[in-house]
Structure 1
Amino acid sequence: MNLFVFGLGFTARCFVARERARFGRVVATTRGTERTGEAPDGVTMRLFSPGEADPRIADDLAASDAVLVSIPPDDGGDPALVRYADALAAGPARWIGYLSTIGVYGDQGGAWIDEATPPAPTHQRTRDRVAVEEAWLDFGRRTGKAVQVFRLSGIYGPGRNPFVKLREGRSQRIVKAGQVFNRIHVADIAATLAASLDRPHPGAVYNVTDDEPAPPQDVTAHAAGLAGLPLPPEVDFESAPLSPMARSFYGENKRVRNARIKAELGVALAYPTYREGLAALKDEGAAAGP
């Protein structure tokens, strides 16, 4: 089996590293020529940017049994689907995974939701995500390809976790009454994608998230205690120095269920809550970052 990856970011790299042995060949894209030399062992890199695309990509897709799409939408939709729909339709891919976000659900007032909850995006970036999700699912219906959408919650893992911010003095304990967020360890995303490869469900949408939505200040406090680091003071949300993007996340409050990945794919989360995830990162020495 050969794999093609559009966008070799944090999550896709973890998946490739975990599953490299199952693929005969892995090809992935980068947006800049200066980064093509950063490929993990055994991965062939191709340039794919708004202004330029490696002409070999079409041939790569013609030899790929699985395709993972891990790039954000642009003004024209999904760049991979817009440019390579015909190549993908004609190719042998028996599994296509699109990485999306639980942000498509918008604000649910703290209520529990699942995949049956209709999307209610509140920002243009999540409205774009909903449109691209539907474009991929429609592509699957029209071509018979097994397209699956994975809605990811807040991703953390080695080099990308609360320990890093605490050690760098960038952590804040922001408090907003009733606010919770779901999270997901990157290794559990990789495991979910691998399970889906083994059990494709054409047209499926999955929430890939942990078991326990939690207030962000509780996660920061737990990490500080594990690492023996000073606890940042509490900061009221209204007066917190946040970027517009960061502030927008606090405008959405929901508790996301993950029962479908367990029932349909047999996923058993290695890190069902932030407690197990942070304990593992500390024990692995990953807390200091890359």
Structure 2
Amino acid sequence: MTSERESIERGEPALLILGCGYLGRRLARHYMDLGVTVLGVVASESSRRTLLDEGIPAIAVDLASADLAVLPLTGRAVFHLAPPPGQGVEDWVTRRLAAAFARQGHPRRLVYISTSGVYGDCGGAWVDETWPVRPSADRARRRWDAEQALRQWRRASGAALVVLRVAGIYGPGRLPLERIRQGLPLVRESQAPFSNRIHVDDLAQACVAAMERGSDGEIYNVCDDYPSTMTDYFFQIADAAGLPRPPVIPISEMEGQLSPGMRSYMRESRRLSNRKLRDELGVTLTYPALKDGLPGALGRR
């Protein structure tokens, strides 16, 4: 982050982290250790106090409703990690943010965390960044809308944009242990779709690589090396945690026994390729497989 030296000398934030939560705190600590001045942006005062208690400078600005003029945006590097609205197919929060960029001055570089869900159901095929975008769930449509809004902003502003399409995130405090303890059913493994995941620490290093080395306008899938079925994912966690494996049901029975959210995941199957992440960004995963990341995520190492 050598281009931020002047901002550091003036005591101004060189890096903004919008939505500085589970992932953002890791990024903040990484850059602060390098001497970069960081500002975490969160929606609530309680979240701000949590960051301050961890030594991370922060402000409380609700991107959905607050006056965004308080954000120091011009010429900064920005991680956009803030979630989209909870309903609809548009991410009007990101569109609002892009409008603020136009009014107040543009960041010089932005890394946006999107989702691999924008690819939709791929029938279990291996999917790289050239795969057509066909989101089927509203949560993925909102992310796709955000990608498009930011691409429009990039074309108009000349600022640099890198998009990461991220698999399901796991790590300490981010495992479905309660669901497993409840014994809620899963789809029979032979019928279960393929899913993908990434450890939060590997996602953090991918974010750093994207900020430092990502090519302007490029998209990178972020996932580990070994996709597996959703059912296998739960089984591996149960085994590692010493819990009974959940019962399984045929996929024909999922309508009455699985939550709407889980059913939506069951309707999509894809195996993400991370070759571009490895080859172009030079990322070497610390946890290339779920079995590598589970001991630490469970607090056992």
TM superposition score category, shorter chain reference: 0.7 to 0.9
- Picking from 206, 224, 235, the partner of 2:220 is 206
User: Which runs of no fewer than 5 residues in structure 1 stay unpaired?
Assistant: none
Residues 83-162 of structure 1 aligned to structure 2 (within 5 Å): 83-85=97-99, 87=101, 91=105, 93-162=107-176
What SS does the aligned partner of 2:23 have?
Answer: helix
Q: What corresponds to 1:246 in structure 2?
A: 262
Q: What corresponds to 1:281 in structure 2?
A: 297
What SS does the aligned partner of 1:61 have?
Answer: coil
* 8 Å CA contact retained: 1:137, 1:148: no
Distance, in Å, in 2 between the alignment partners of 1:162 and 1:87 is 37
1:227–1:127 CA distance, 2 compared to 1 (3 A): closer
Deviations 1:123-151 (A, max 9, x none): 33322322220221232232221101111
- Residue 232, structure 1, aligned to residue 258, structure 2: no
* 8 Å CA contact retained: 2:162, 2:216: yes
What SS does the aligned partner of 1:226 have?
Answer: helix
* 8 Å CA contact retained: 1:25, 1:42: no
* 8 Å CA contact retained: 1:151, 1:208: yes
The count of corresponding residues between Structure 1 and Structure 2 is 281
Distance, in Å, in 2 between the alignment partners of 1:79 and 1:178 is 34
1:110–1:200 CA distance, 2 compared to 1 (3 A): closer
Distance, in Å, in 1 between the alignment partners of 2:155 and 2:35 is 26
- Picking from 19, 30, 33, the partner of 1:7 is 19
What SS does the aligned partner of 1:98 have?
Answer: strand
- Residue 28, structure 1, aligned to residue 40, structure 2: yes
Q: What is the letter of the counterpart of residue 118 of structure 1?
A: P
Structure 1 residue runs of 4 or more that deviate by more than 6 Å after TM superposition: none
- How far did 1:94 drift? 3.2
1:78–1:265 CA distance, 2 compared to 1 (3 A): farther
Distance, in Å, in 2 between the alignment partners of 1:4 and 1:78 is 20
User: Which runs of no fewer than 5 residues in structure 2 stay unpaired?
Assistant: 5-13
Distance, in Å, in 2 between the alignment partners of 1:83 and 1:152 is 21
* Higher alpha-carbon deviation: 178-187 or 156-165: 156-165
* Higher alpha-carbon deviation: 114-123 or 41-50: 41-50
Q: What is the letter of the counterpart of residue 96 of structure 1?
A: L
Q: What corresponds to 1:195 in structure 2?
A: 209
Deviations 1:108-129 (A, max 9, x none): 1111110001101113332232
- How far did 1:213 drift? 1.1
Q: What is the letter of the counterpart of residue 213 of structure 2?
A: R
Taking structure 2 as the reference length, the TM-score comes to 0.83
Q: What corresponds to 2:277 in structure 1?
A: 261
* 8 Å CA contact retained: 1:106, 1:121: yes
Q: What corresponds to 1:66 in structure 2?
A: 77
RMSD of Structure 2 on Structure 1 (CA): 2.5
- How far did 1:91 drift? 4.4
Q: What is the letter of the counterpart of residue 182 of structure 2?
A: G
Deviations 1:85-118 (A, max 9, x none): 4536864733201111010000111111100011
Q: What is the letter of the counterpart of residue 217 of structure 2?
A: G
1:203–1:44 CA distance, 2 compared to 1 (3 A): same
Distance, in Å, in 2 between the alignment partners of 1:16 and 1:170 is 37
- How far did 1:7 drift? 1.2
